[in-house]
Structure 1
Amino acid sequence: MTTAGFTRVTRTGRRAAAAAVLAAVCLVAGGCTSLPGDSSPQVVRSFSPAPSTEEEIAPTPGQEPDLLLRDFFTASGKPTQKHQAARAFLTPSVAERWDDSAATLILDRIDLNAEPGASEDNISYVVRGTVVGKLETGGVFTPENASYEAKMELSRTGGQWRISALPPGVIMERTELRNRYTPQELFFFNPSGRMLVRDRRWVYNGQASLDTALLSLLMEGPQKLLAPGVVNDIPPTGVFAGYEQGVYGFTGFEDLDSDERHRFAAQVVWVLARAGIPGPYRVQLDGTPIDPDHLELSVEDVAEFNPNAQAGTISPLYALKNGSLSTIDGYTVTPVPGPLGQSQQVESADVSSSGGVAAAVISRGSGDSKVSELVLGPVGGPTTKVQEARTLTRPSFEYEATAVWSVVDGRTITRIARSTSTGEMSQIEVDSSVLSGQSPDGPGEPISVLRLSPTGVRVAFIRDGSVWVSTVSRPKPGDRAIANATEIAPALGDTALSLDWLQDGSLVVGTSSPATPVWHVETDGSSLTPLPSGNITAPVVAVAASPSTLYLTDAHAMLQLPAAASAAAFWREVPAVQGTRAVPVVAN
């Protein structure tokens, strides 16, 4: 259901059954593109298509009805020319009427069961599965978790079986989505205009011109879930005119100033570069080079906006051990100078290396008498109490420590910032009404973990053991609001205990599940992959990530794993804290 920007993913067997998914997915006709979208990318280059490497899928003479139906679902993964390949499996009259644009649903698997009463020339099948997502306009994947059931009828026509009745829309298995489509990235700016934010889209592999398809999508703006949190300087009159004579041409950009032109150049260059399209790139706005000083652009010309810049940085590692904050350097663990290294009451902490500041929750007492204090201060220096409550979640810094977020008593999200004019600390309540609006009988499940993304545009959190991602909007200067909250990993049930952001915008999630204690989760919910777990003992109560290394705390110790490790790798104890149960804190 969707209510005021809130997307709720129902859980099969755990929550009430979901309503039918009614997503309008418009696939462009004619074969010029195969992105789910409302408009056709304009391909004006001279193009000679390479020989297709895809296997042609078509009915075979004498094919049995169940096998023909299986091949139909496989052919449905080819969206070109309004699913021409799939229509070959339908009777002529049904092929003309089939509405393939009604929805594109992604199922975990497709099960077929024949209904009783089949005759020599007619047979019906019940198609069942679990909807894990839908592919929407512009290649946007939206996670779902609902049961699917439909009836399909087949008739023998001219001695061959063909589908004679089916519901509107397209269904395909998740494996077929990955076989036929590839996730790509568009980029838009965070509100400061200093950082590029990833906008993940699924693009059909059979695209004749990937670059023109991506740039056409860029011109349509960010997906609706992300839009409230990013800046889109592309003018309403802006049009991608296509690729001709080695130039990517755009029109309708007359009013952009030099800074806006440079930022748009960064969007174009990084979209193309991340898609593997080799540079340098010639880009013109209204017939003139986008940068008069550079007729050709490369990633070096827009390096300050590199979305992977953190990959080459060193993120200092800290640990919470016996209630105190310590630095870790190789085999050495050293308490930080000042109160945080001596407290023995630190419950959680975050460190901003870019801002040179630490935030920590210090807890005293227990049960009904427990009191939690949020303190701030320079790393290794004196701290100041800025907030007090019965419980506070682990603090999370915005980029460069411009503000810190926490959740009071599991319900109220707060943002504390220092005034640039007076230097005084101010606290606001983040508008999270979109979260409580889904529960008519109360404020909804409490938030146990909250982490801001590196760009500050997204926030991930855990409620009632489920993983959510939302966009941070700015209704007016100084205010913040949670927009478009979406549960992205319903398959985990209510087992999630900890999470953190990875450099590529995905998440690592720790759980209470002994079988699969730690997961890698894509931000759009399209993929959940268990990470190596052979020597992890659940529960995984803390996770953290640097560009090169993953860290976690399980039932026994603080462990580490190279970020690029194979599925067969083993986690190792962090040498400096071997034999003790510490909690990792990676400074970003």
Structure 2
Amino acid sequence: MGADREGSGHRRRGRVGAYVGCGALLLTGCASMPDSGDLRGVESTPRPDSQVRVFAMPPREDAPPAEIVQGFLEALTSDDAQYETARKYLTAGARKAWDPYRSTTVLADGPNTVSERAGTREGSDDDYSYALSGRKVATVDGQHAYAPDSGSYGKTVHLSLQKDTKQWRIDGLPQGVVMGQSDFQRNYVSVNKYYFSSNAPSGTGRQLGTVADPVYVRGEVDPMTEMVRALLKGPTRWLDPVVTSSFPSGTELKKDVTSLSPDDRNRVTVPLNKKADRAGEAQCDRMAAQLLFTLQDLTPTGVDEVELQRSNGSQLCVLTEDRAEIIASHGTGKRPEYQYFIDGKQRLVRLPSGNGDKQPEPVPGALGEGDKKLRAAAVSRDEDSAAGVSTDGSSLYVGSLVSGASLGDAVLHSQGKTEDDRLTTPSWDGRGDLWVADRDPKNPRLLLLEKGAGDPLEVTAPGLDGRVEAVRVAADGVRIALIVEKDGKSSLQVGRIERDTKPGERPVISILELRSVAPQLEEVTAMSWAGDSRLVVVGRESGGVQQMRYVQVDGSNSGNQAPSALTGVKEIAASGDDRLPLVAHSEEDGIVRLSSGEQWQKVVKEGTAPVYPG
């Protein structure tokens, strides 16, 4: 449940279930436990209602080794805050050595558990070993960062019969926790924590630009406090090179703070340690803005105000939601006025973004009113300029969206021999720079035109393996999504944009640490950013049919329901404000749009290349 919000171009999503209600369901492990030998796979617990909390039972007296292992694995999937019940299955030494917070391994199903050997200690029968196995789906690391994973999982759990109590306990086990995918989806939620772009701010004026850093926390185990701790520890490793935090190094919650929650005025008070005591007013406001944006989606009614306190309990600063929106351009900025596409006359046209009843009209300026025929276009985020690709894909033009404005010479040419080997649809970032890929096999390039003009900068992408077929830059200006084709397969990849700028020299732009965010799709045909940390993707799995889904930038499946099915989708456009409809180009129906709670509606039969600003 990423934290994209309504209002000011954002949306407020459903809240983490910890604040919704609190029933209780006791899990007693499997109903029938074998006394020895092999265990069946630990079946993932059916997902209960979000208002139900799940707890496990401690080991029963004289439980055999198989039941101890099974009970321990069940306890890992419960809502036990500090894994107290799981620890009861361990020896004293194992309890001290085990770190459940080091990582979470997610398997396709619950771990299969097989008796590996018994009586290995000098011929005695006072110990057992069990092999845990399964197929990996993902790993969540100690920073709460999610990463898709694959391959086989294999670890060992060792038990011994305790001499003093005559009870079986686990004395050797892997670090972290392991569980099946359905249990992970029940236990964990995706939430955005927020930092500021270390590139030039994507906002206007003196505003800072926020960047969402999605992480997974346990949804029923005080997620608000856990998110504050995660925010204070700093950004995840992948995002760290391109963002900054306003919190002084070493800032943590005050030691005696055990839980945070809003008061009856929706104010959250956050006591900090001495590291933050000397923060000035402006710095404290920025710190509070990070907290407010991060906490906004963790209660049913949101957070209206954040108060930071010094280590002695005195007030450091108070920040309201309205004031936070002035300090930083949170999310995607202002709500787009229009949605755009290429009509049957190959002109750039537009429709009011919130009104589907009006007829499309040509945009002001030469790209709509002139005779230049286009096959694709992109509109700047301020909706003052647009870039258009000629019908043969060879030329890129940039023009003002002002009535009567003329169109100069092309700003870029491709020498590719065929239309499919030339320019992609361009994309504007939050700085006002224009991105496009040239697919010429003899000279494939990813290019940036500063402010949409001048000599293009060639962007380096050392991890790129294949040809770029589509480019979309995030509103935050520090992440870029690419469709990359290689050997007949196309994948969706997200990379980090790094800028090396020296006085008097042109910047060096690099795309680093590209990672696949929809690895289950072997053919990706279209994509668009759809929020702070989310994309909408059109593609197909091996042997499957075309489908449309939302994915997070970390590669996890978004908690949002997939859009309604639509056949023959060639292009897709989404706004960061999900009150605005999805717009698509369908081979059968032309330009169509999907508003929340409705079915796809036809806009015009003759039209292609739909886009929102960006």
Aligning the two structures, in what range does the TM-score lie when normalised by the shorter sequence?
A: 0.7 to 0.9
Q: Is the 8 A contact 1:112 1:125 kept in 2?
A: no
Residue 580 (structure 1) aligned to one of 606, 609, 614: 606
Q: Is the 8 A contact 1:181 1:203 kept in 2?
A: yes
Residue 476 (structure 1) aligned to one of 492, 498, 501: 501
Instruction: Report the alpha carbon displacement of residue 251 of structure 1 after superposing the two structures with TM.
Output: 3.4
**1:107 corresponds to:** 107
**1:525 corresponds to:** 555
**2:359 corresponds to:** 332
**2:14 corresponds to:** none
Cα distance in 2, alignment partners of residues 67 and 335 from structure 1: 70
**1:412 corresponds to:** 445
Q: Alignment partner of 2:149: what SS? A: strand
Residue 262 (structure 1) aligned to one of 285, 291, 311: 285
Is 2:539 aligned against 1:511?
yes
Is 2:468 aligned against 1:447?
yes
Residue 180 (structure 1) aligned to one of 181, 187, 200: 187
Q: Which amino acid aligns with 1:232?
A: S
**1:231 corresponds to:** 244
Cα distance in 1, alignment partners of residues 309 and 171 from structure 2: 51
Q: Alignment partner of 1:271: what SS? A: helix
**1:19 corresponds to:** none
Q: Alignment partner of 1:270: what SS? A: helix
**1:5 corresponds to:** none
Cα distance in 2, alignment partners of residues 325 and 284 from structure 1: 53
Is 2:326 aligned against 1:297?
no
- Counting only pairs closer than 5 Å after superposition, residues 346-361 of structure 1 correspond to structure 2 as 346-361=374-389
**1:22 corresponds to:** none
**2:429 corresponds to:** 398
Cα distance in 2, alignment partners of residues 164 and 289 from structure 1: 47
**1:321 corresponds to:** 343
Q: Which amino acid aligns with 1:225?
A: W
Instruction: Report the alpha carbon displacement of residue 116 of structure 1 after superposing the two structures with TM.
Output: 9.5
Cα distance in 2, alignment partners of residues 516 and 118 from structure 1: 50
Instruction: Report the alpha carbon displacement of residue 336 of structure 1 after superposing the two structures with TM.
Output: 3.0
CA deviation string 1:226-245 (max 9, x = no partner): 11221333333545436889
**2:400 corresponds to:** 378
C-alpha distance 297-250 of structure 1, shift in aligned 2 (>3 A): farther
**1:251 corresponds to:** 274
Q: Alignment partner of 2:360: what SS? A: strand
C-alpha distance 338-53 of structure 1, shift in aligned 2 (>3 A): closer
Instruction: Report the alpha carbon displacement of residue 417 of structure 1 after superposing the two structures with TM.
Output: 0.8
Instruction: Report the alpha carbon displacement of residue 57 of structure 1 after superposing the two structures with TM.
Output: 3.3
**2:151 corresponds to:** 146
CA deviation string 1:506-552 (max 9, x = no partner): 000011466351111012222257965665214x2211013221122
C-alpha distance 107-305 of structure 1, shift in aligned 2 (>3 A): farther
Instruction: Report the alpha carbon displacement of residue 203 of structure 1 after superposing the two structures with TM.
Output: 2.1
Q: Alignment partner of 2:185: what SS? A: helix
Q: Is the 8 A contact 1:516 1:533 kept in 2?
A: no
Structure 2 residue runs of 5 or longer lacking an equivalent are 1-51, 120-124, 202-206, 258-267, 417-421
Please identify, of 502-511 and 58-67, the stretch whose mean Cα deviation from structure 2 is larger.
58-67
CA deviation string 1:321-349 (max 9, x = no partner): 34332223534122335442355742221
Q: Is the 8 A contact 1:194 1:305 kept in 2?
A: yes
Q: Alignment partner of 2:143: what SS? A: helix
**2:72 corresponds to:** 72
Is 2:244 aligned against 1:218?
no
Residue 570 (structure 1) aligned to one of 599, 602, 605: 599
**2:583 corresponds to:** 551
C-alpha distance 290-359 of structure 1, shift in aligned 2 (>3 A): farther
Instruction: Report the alpha carbon displacement of residue 61 of structure 1 after superposing the two structures with TM.
Output: 6.4
Residue 202 (structure 1) aligned to one of 212, 216, 226: 216
Cα distance in 2, alignment partners of residues 529 and 236 from structure 1: 33
Q: Alignment partner of 1:340: what SS? A: helix
Q: How big is the alpha-carbon RMSD for the aligned residues of Structure 1 and Structure 2? A: 3.8
**2:43 corresponds to:** none
Cα distance in 1, alignment partners of residues 276 and 69 from structure 2: 49
Instruction: Report the alpha carbon displacement of residue 305 of structure 1 after superposing the two structures with TM.
Output: 4.7
Please identify, of 229-238 and 345-354, the stretch whose mean Cα deviation from structure 2 is larger.
229-238
**1:272 corresponds to:** 295
Aligned residues: 504
Q: Which amino acid aligns with 2:74?
A: T
Instruction: Report the alpha carbon displacement of residue 446 of structure 1 after superposing the two structures with TM.
Output: 0.9
Percent identity, aligned pairs only, is: 22
Q: Is the 8 A contact 2:250 2:275 kept in 1?
A: yes
Instruction: Report the alpha carbon displacement of residue 254 of structure 1 after superposing the two structures with TM.
Output: 7.0
Cα distance in 2, alignment partners of residues 333 and 354 from structure 1: 20
Instruction: Report the alpha carbon displacement of residue 585 of structure 1 after superposing the two structures with TM.
Output: 1.5
Q: Which amino acid aligns with 2:549?
A: W
**2:254 corresponds to:** 241
